[in-house]
Structure 1
Amino acid sequence: MIDGADETMTQKNMVQAINEALRLEMRRDERVVVMGEDVGKVGGVFRVTQGLWDEFGDGRVIDTPLNEGGIIGTAIGMAAYGMRPVPEIQFADFIYPAFDQIVSEAAKSRYRSGGEYPCPMVIRTPYGGGIKGGAYHSQSPEALFIHTAGLKVVCPSNPYDAKGLLAAAIQDDDPVLFFEPKRVYRAVKMDVPDEAYTLPLGEAKVVREGDSLTLVAWGAMLYEALSAAEQVAEQGISCEVIDLRTLWPLDLDTIVRSVEKTGRIVVVHEAPKACGFGAEILQLVSEKSFLHFQAPPARVTGWDTPFPYTLENEYLPLAHRVVPQLIATANY
């Protein structure tokens, strides 16, 4: 972490914060390389890597073919030889051709080699809806990777967290999936230190104190959770809102402490409901805090359908869908 007394702050959006984290880590450690489709001269489809090629050149900012399996397979080889690659998958929806490389190779490298070959790599990818991307540019596949032992999964909701968590992920010796909510890329600006800093992986943050119920979210859905919490506050319902930040390893202790105070929990995520990460969170909390429950645990999620184009706002668990569940849980 940086020394807070010496830091200078600048208003940044998430694109700028991530770009700065990459730039500072590449300056700090020559083993860090960025690779992916159009990440070089173009700067990526969302311009997140813009300017890196100008500073670091072809050897460290590598434009690759449109071959996700090849991108990740190459990054695994780089990591085995001591480099710290940061491959980008242009959209999380396109990660599936690389699924075997991620879950069968990257996730298991340290275990299979008895610790001799860790796999220090960060797979960056924009995920989720909210930009009219339709069925092939809007999915939220985080649960698939949380299910796989050996992977860490991070999902920041704001520019400050994105910069600090990405730096920590790059410095980590294990493979990290770094999901970036593209709906938030340029929608949120906040003060972010100009200097390098890290935030620890595996620590959630209570972003709103409350005592009526616990409301858990991550990524873009944090803002829907906060909006819903504001609306129900007018009815005397006080929500404690938790931003997970790191999905796996899960900061279960923070959630349990909150639930044991409030007696109620609602989880919001935009992935489909069936086998979504919300189900695992509620089960883990139930195992720890069942006797504290004053209402059934609940989820507000995406639907178990392909992600629609014209009905995007009906699919996403926006605040107007979250509010009725908060009222029902609080008044149970």
Structure 2
Amino acid sequence: MRCTSAAVAPRCPGAAAASATVPAPPRTPATTMRTRVAAAAVDAAKAAAAATGPMAVRRGMGRRQSSSFLLSCAADPSWRCRSSNSGGGSGSPGDRGPANDAPTAPARAVYQGAYGTFSIGPEDEQEVLLYRLGINTAAACALACSSVAFLPEGSAARTAVLGNLDVLVAAGTAGLGLSLVQIHIYMAPIKRALQALWAVGAAGTVGIMLMQDPPAALFVTEHRAAVWLVGPMFAALTGVAFKEGLCYGKLEAGLLFGATPLLLLGHLTGLVPEAGERVLLAVFSGLLTVFALRKWTQPVKDDVGDKSVFDFLALPPDAQQAAQAARQAREGRM
């Protein structure tokens, strides 16, 4: 940048030559006022430098470069010329600092597993979210369908539920199926077995919907033998409850594991009276609802499990033996 005043020639090289060809602008009252304001700003900056030290001033320059380096030469020509010459080119020192670096993503927590370390990624979080949404969908639909047994005859709520029973059953079936796809179980054969049970029960449910006039839920209520068609799907739900109760020691999961087969077997055999079936139905619906809602209180890491175990099980037998030996050696040193 060029200085426009001949008075700065001793301190700014080339200023004298510039003054010979470029006439100095006339000093008007407005120019004088701007000069005084600029000089006051410079004095304030120098006072701040004396109070806070040079390091604070340099940090302030990086954040307020427009107020520190864009003062006119008329206000303080020596400072202006020094800052321009020391910059090595156009622009201010604040433009070339690291202040504009893009923020880095926060580091994810690293957990120690049985066979190594692991972290929870976005894909894991999405799978857990879908798993919990599926369970909550199944619980909400089961609660709505069960309400038919307790709502007053002819009430608007009961009529609305009766008119949408098949929709609720279909949504609950789909929700449980989604959870069984996203569930994290170390042993793949167990996961596939639960999915197969769900598929058989879902096929039986759809068959009832297509071949019978009453809604599927009412048909099963009126025909005990129909439990054989839908029962495998409830067996899959029992497996999920067993897994949750075993892994996390949840009371509602353990109770649900016992209440589900008791409800179905009691209805299938006819050994439980109608009043007893209503009690079992209320217990089943309540436990499933509590179980589903409490899933949201768990850390995502719990539903993901130990990812190092999944990696270990995916290895060929020779690599598994080597990993097992390394684990035993590590535990021996500890």
TM-score tier after normalising by the smaller chain length: under 0.3
TM-score (ref. length: structure 2): 0.19
When you count helix as a share of all residues, which structure comes out higher?
2
When you count strand as a share of all residues, which structure comes out higher?
1
